[in-house]
């Protein structure tokens, strides 16, 4: 039977973020010779209350601590400069430290870096209860939405080999990772955020977010979240690190 109801604790924006990874159903090309170099991976951070995409990271590397940190930093920091650098004329107003980040039990979501960074910024890191896959339903549906749209791009691998059929994914590939990042940012801000969402009463995610922040005729707004004072430090805090000890012979690199 379908499980109805809202995600526990996600009553306002930034109360609960969910994070997860997925392969991208597109073959990318390199920026110099425009030759196929394989698929990439997408890490997304979603606000459970409003379904707004808070941030993401697209990478050619397999999921790990680096993509996790980059996606969370992107979710927390303002995005006006990020949009301007990619020539995307749209608004992406969500920013600020979430109260809780929810993830599955993958190694990159249980590492020392993420624990230390979340503790440093007063964020609770919580892993999905084992045997309860419904707790990841929101973000998995979001991935299906994004990958379904990505399958319209040249060089798509589709969902499986049976669906791909005789389509030559490598031969049709023509998009670099940077170009995909620009396309994805445009799709999120101009299409996904603006489209009515069935899971939140058929209200567009960005409109629901703005209603919570600014308020409505019948509901007082919660106000803007506290801005990050040192953006550079936050980025560093969410980067992988290696501990080394000082011995008599010095430091082993």
CA 56 to CA 205: how far, in whole Å? 16
List, for residues 66-107, the tens digit of each pLDDT value: 999 999 999 999 999 999 999 999 999 999 999 999 988 776
Query: pTM for the whole thing?
Result: 0.88
Give the SS3 label for residue 73: helix
Cα end-to-end span (Å), the chain: 54
For residue 213, what is the enclosing H or E element? helix 205-214
Q: What share of the chain is helix, strand, coil (3-state, %, to 5)?
A: 35, 20, 45
pLDDT digits (tens, 9 = 90+) for 140-179: 899 999 999 999 999 999 988 788 888 999 999 999 999 9
Beta bridge partner(s), residue 41:
23, 59
The CA-atom distances, in angstroms, between 232 and each of 43, 125, 216, 238 are: 21, 22, 35, 10
């Amino acid at each position: 039977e379908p499980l109805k109801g809202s995600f526990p604790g996600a009553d306002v924006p930034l109360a609960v973020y969910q994070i997860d990874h997925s392969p991208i159903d597109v073959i990318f090309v390199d920026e110099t010779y425009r030759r196929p170099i394989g698929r990439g991976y997408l890490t997304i951070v979603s606000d459970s209350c409003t379904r707004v995409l808070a941030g993401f990271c697209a990478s050619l590397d397999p999921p790990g601590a680096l993509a996790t940190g980059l996606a969370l930093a992107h979710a927390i920091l303002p995005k006006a400069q990020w949009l301007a650098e990619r020539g995307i004329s749209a608004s992406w107003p969500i920013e600020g430290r979430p109260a809780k980040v929810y993830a599955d039990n993958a190694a990159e979501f249980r590492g020392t870096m993420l624990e230390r960074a979340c503790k440093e910024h007063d964020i609770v890191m919580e892993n999905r209860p084992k045997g309860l896959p419904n707790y990841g339903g929101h973000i998995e549906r979001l991935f299906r939405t994004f990958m379904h749209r990505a399958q319209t791009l040249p060089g798509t691998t589709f969902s499986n080999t049976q669906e791909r059929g005789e389509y030559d994914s490598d031969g049709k590939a023509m998009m670099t990772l940077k170009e995909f990042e620009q396309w994805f940012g445009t799709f999120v801000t101009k299409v996904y955020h603006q489209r009515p969402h069935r899971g939140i009463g058929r209200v567009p995610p960005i409109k629901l977010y703005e209603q919570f922040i600014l308020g409505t005729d019948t509901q007082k707004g919660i106000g803007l979240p506290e801005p990050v004072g040192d953006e550079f430090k936050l980025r560093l805090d969410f980067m992988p690190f290696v501990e080394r000890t000082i011995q008599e012979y010095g430091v082993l690199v």
